Structure 1
Amino acid sequence: MELDVAVSGGDHQPGAEPGGTYRALAYPPLVGRPEPGDEVLLNTTALAMGLGTGGYAMVVAVPNRLPEDPRGPGHLVKARYTPLQATVLGADEQDSPFHEVLREADSIDGMPVVVADLHSALPPILCGLYEARAGVRVAYVMQDGGALPAWFSMAAAKLREIGWLTGVVTVGQAFGGDVEAVTVHTGLLAARHVLEADVAIVAQGPGNLGTGTRWGFSGVSAGEAINAASVLRGRPVATLRVSEGDLRERHLGVSHHSLTAYGRVALAPARVAVPLLPGELGERVRDQAELLAVRHELVPVPVDGLHEALRASPVKLSTMGRSLEEDLAYFVASAAAGRCAASLLS
């Protein structure tokens, strides 16, 4: 739940000056439900660092009111050994009604699995998918490279509400999805056999950690997701992270994140959706994508009609603070991956 919190005098963290009012988020299952007038303990790290995805203070506790008793079904502990660790019922654990379904499950039956680096690719992938193929059941498998609570994603909540997602599966340390799973592997199996998805989309939650080094970014998990989809006999589709609005050379055209994750981390072959963008940018993207052809199948994807499909998106499109029109190539490339996945459905 979103709150307005006034910070008064006394001790406070940098980023939350006394006398200011700040946006804050509270997750009632973890900290209890704040009421107007409550005193709350805040973590203001995101404010102090000016994080673009964050922008919120986080409620750590409501000192005068305890949350509900966390004990219940389930033995999976996520955000382990942190003060806000949560116990959830995993789809794959023994107490789950789906345990027998998943106990010996070893295949996702050729299900297309669209893999992306950033969470912001989720809505445009769906735009491209549904523009080409309506009525498809799609599950989102959320990795733990960004936000851990699925509740933080307003886009995923809206897409779930309108039926564009049949469910969210949270894997690794991520939690709060419709289905919980231990690994990307069991998350994909749950997407197929529990949510009965026709297509899965795998990406980290909101937020992205990068250091400007070859290997120091959370999106390396995209390459690992390609491997997981392949070993489970799925059909992985790699989404290229493309930009014309990012001024950093390493992200212009095809980002080095995609070239590293798919070119070095992914050991299994995938279909790489290469958007047929016009002009010099399109030539640059095609040239850079050729670096991936050693292992992967490059699939040229026409982009006609995708701009219109993206403009009709039911949720706001934004990546790194840039809107659809400010970085059109990014969103078109993501939508192209959705269109590519649609072509695999019989």
Structure 2
Amino acid sequence: MIRVRRGMVDDIISRRPGITELLVSVERNREKAINYDNLTGPVMVGDEVLLNTTAVYKKLGTGGAHFVMGNLSQTDRDISHEGHIMKLRYSPCQVKVLAVEEPDSPYAEVMRQADSLAGTPVIIGTLHSMLAPVAAAIKKLAQGKLRVAYLMTDGAALPIHLSKLVAELKGKGLIDQTVTCGHAFGGDLEAINIYTGLLACKAVAKADIIIVAMGPGIVGSGSPYGFTGVEQGEIINAVNILGGRPIAIPRISFADKRERHLGISHHSRTALGKIALTRSTVVLPKLTPDKMELVLKQLEDSHISRKHDIAIVDAQPALESLREYGLKVTTMGRSVEQDPEFFLAAGAAGVYVSPQPFVAAQADKG
């Protein structure tokens, strides 16, 4: 069910491509709301809007703002003729896109012929916050010579415009092009599924390295399989099917107070140890001896070290790149200083694929 209320736009907080952040008067309060301009049209101060207030009412971390469902002051909108693929299908918010594969696309012929990633490295994360250290490390260590594409899945937020991080990374030249697949939308290129999304990164975006991760807002339940990050294992399979080189980011933390996320998270142990049916390289950062001992034991106990290749690198250059590019990122509300192992683990994959001498060790445990 959706909790719906009418509100009045009091102020515009910010505008960036595809999204407007608002202050609205609703139920005698003045609260934050988000308008997706490509869904519900432009919005101005004084407009009466229809709001989805469910997440704020339930005090949920996911979607912690009201969302504009319709602008009652500006109801008529037209759309372009190009494109026939609907995302958010059969919902009141279904949106038409021009998918890279469809006949009207200027890339239709390229996509008809695309059938291989030809060994392209594909770094696969689970949380959106992993994106920054990976992209920053690659651009810094490769001196900007490698072209990076970000493929956003539909495992969390569906509109890519919600991510301030993506806008910042593109603005700083750390991501060259974005692709949204499945029901995710708003990328530079739209794709119908993970396979054509990956192929579009290679054949159309001309990526040297592909980063795949969901948008903001992973969904989890605490149960072994009840989280959207299970997609990591399935994406590894897809990359191998297409002849790419999958590189998996493990979720590692020693700051999270929940036991299931201590060391290597149960998310990673499920996705890599059970869901992934094909091989990848799991990259670890150098850690202190006690922490490394726990992580390696968890890899062994979850069969990850038998199913996948393990690489260990000095990931400090990734943290240095975050500082150099002025990127202030958090995960679950924690900063780099509060949860360094998480960001080291993410950045390690970027260090690993970059043409530099920081790889410290690689163990093939076939």
Using structure 2 for the length normalisation, give the TM-score.
0.88
Unaligned runs of 5+ in 2: 1-19, 358-366
| Residue from 216, 221, 226 that aligns with 2:231 | 221
What is residue 11 of structure 1 aligned with on the other side?
none
- Is the 8 Å Cα contact of residues 134 and 348 (structure 2) preserved in structure 1? yes
Q: Secondary structure at the match of 1:305?
A: helix
Q: Does 1:246 align with 2:256?
A: yes
In 2, distance between residues paired with 1:134 and 1:49? 46
Question: Map of 1:56-95 to 2, 5 A cutoff?
Answer: 56-66=65-75, 68-95=77-104
What is residue 156 of structure 2 aligned with on the other side?
146
In 1, distance between residues paired with 2:44 and 2:62? 26
**CA-to-aligned-CA distance 1:154-187 (integer Å, 9 cap, x gap):** 1111111221111110000101110000111100
Q: Secondary structure at the match of 1:26?
A: strand
TM superposition shift of 1:47: 1.2
In 2, distance between residues paired with 1:190 and 1:114? 16
In 2, distance between residues paired with 1:238 and 1:133? 20
What is residue 17 of structure 2 aligned with on the other side?
none
Whichever residue aligns with residue 144 of structure 1, its letter is: D
Q: Does 1:40 align with 2:49?
A: yes
**CA-to-aligned-CA distance 1:39-64 (integer Å, 9 cap, x gap):** 11111122123333532110111012
**How many aligned residue pairs are there?**
335
| Residue from 176, 192, 202 that aligns with 1:192 | 202
**CA-to-aligned-CA distance 1:199-247 (integer Å, 9 cap, x gap):** 0000111101111111110001111111111111111100010011111
What is residue 329 of structure 1 aligned with on the other side?
341
Unaligned runs of 5+ in 1: 8-17
Q: What percent identity do the matched residue pairs reach?
A: 45
Q: How much is the aligned-residue C-alpha RMSD, in angstroms?
A: 1.6
Distance 1:34 1:25, change over 3 A: same
What is residue 16 of structure 2 aligned with on the other side?
none
Question: Map of 1:310-321 to 2, 5 A cutoff?
Answer: 310-321=322-333
What is residue 12 of structure 1 aligned with on the other side?
none
TM superposition shift of 1:315: 3.2
What is residue 235 of structure 1 aligned with on the other side?
245
Whichever residue aligns with residue 281 of structure 1, its letter is: K
In 1, distance between residues paired with 2:84 and 2:282? 38
TM superposition shift of 1:19: 1.8
Distance 1:210 1:159, change over 3 A: same
Greater mean alpha carbon deviation, residues 313-322 or residues 179-188? 313-322
In 2, distance between residues paired with 1:315 and 1:49? 31
In 1, distance between residues paired with 2:81 and 2:156? 27
Whichever residue aligns with residue 67 of structure 2, its letter is: M
What is residue 137 of structure 2 aligned with on the other side?
128
In 2, distance between residues paired with 1:296 and 1:314? 34
| Residue from 174, 177, 191 that aligns with 2:184 | 174
- Is the 8 Å Cα contact of residues 142 and 356 (structure 2) preserved in structure 1? no
In 2, distance between residues paired with 1:304 and 1:177? 31
Whichever residue aligns with residue 265 of structure 2, its letter is: S
Q: Does 1:2 align with 2:32?
A: no
- Is the 8 Å Cα contact of residues 223 and 262 (structure 1) preserved in structure 2? yes
TM superposition shift of 1:344: 9.6
TM superposition shift of 1:267: 1.1
In 1, distance between residues paired with 2:256 and 2:181? 30
Greater mean alpha carbon deviation, residues 228-237 or residues 311-320? 311-320
Whichever residue aligns with residue 222 of structure 1, its letter is: Q
- Is the 8 Å Cα contact of residues 137 and 317 (structure 2) preserved in structure 1? no
Whichever residue aligns with residue 45 of structure 1, its letter is: T
What is residue 117 of structure 2 aligned with on the other side?
108
| Residue from 244, 250, 266 that aligns with 1:256 | 266
In 1, distance between residues paired with 2:168 and 2:76? 26
In 2, distance between residues paired with 1:170 and 1:297? 29
Structure (1 or 2) with the greater strand fraction:
2
- Identify which of structures 1 and 2 has the higher relative contact order when contacts are C-alpha pairs closer than 8 Å and 6+ apart: 1
Q: Does 1:284 align with 2:279?
A: no
Whichever residue aligns with residue 125 of structure 2, its letter is: A
What is residue 15 of structure 1 aligned with on the other side?
none
Whichever residue aligns with residue 29 of structure 2, its letter is: G
Q: Secondary structure at the match of 1:208?
A: coil
- Is the 8 Å Cα contact of residues 32 and 67 (structure 1) preserved in structure 2? no
- Is the 8 Å Cα contact of residues 124 and 310 (structure 1) preserved in structure 2? yes
TM superposition shift of 1:287: 2.1
Q: Secondary structure at the match of 1:40?
A: strand
Greater mean alpha carbon deviation, residues 50-59 or residues 172-181? 50-59
Using structure 1 for the length normalisation, give the TM-score.
0.93
- Is the 8 Å Cα contact of residues 123 and 349 (structure 2) preserved in structure 1? yes
Q: Secondary structure at the match of 2:307?
A: coil
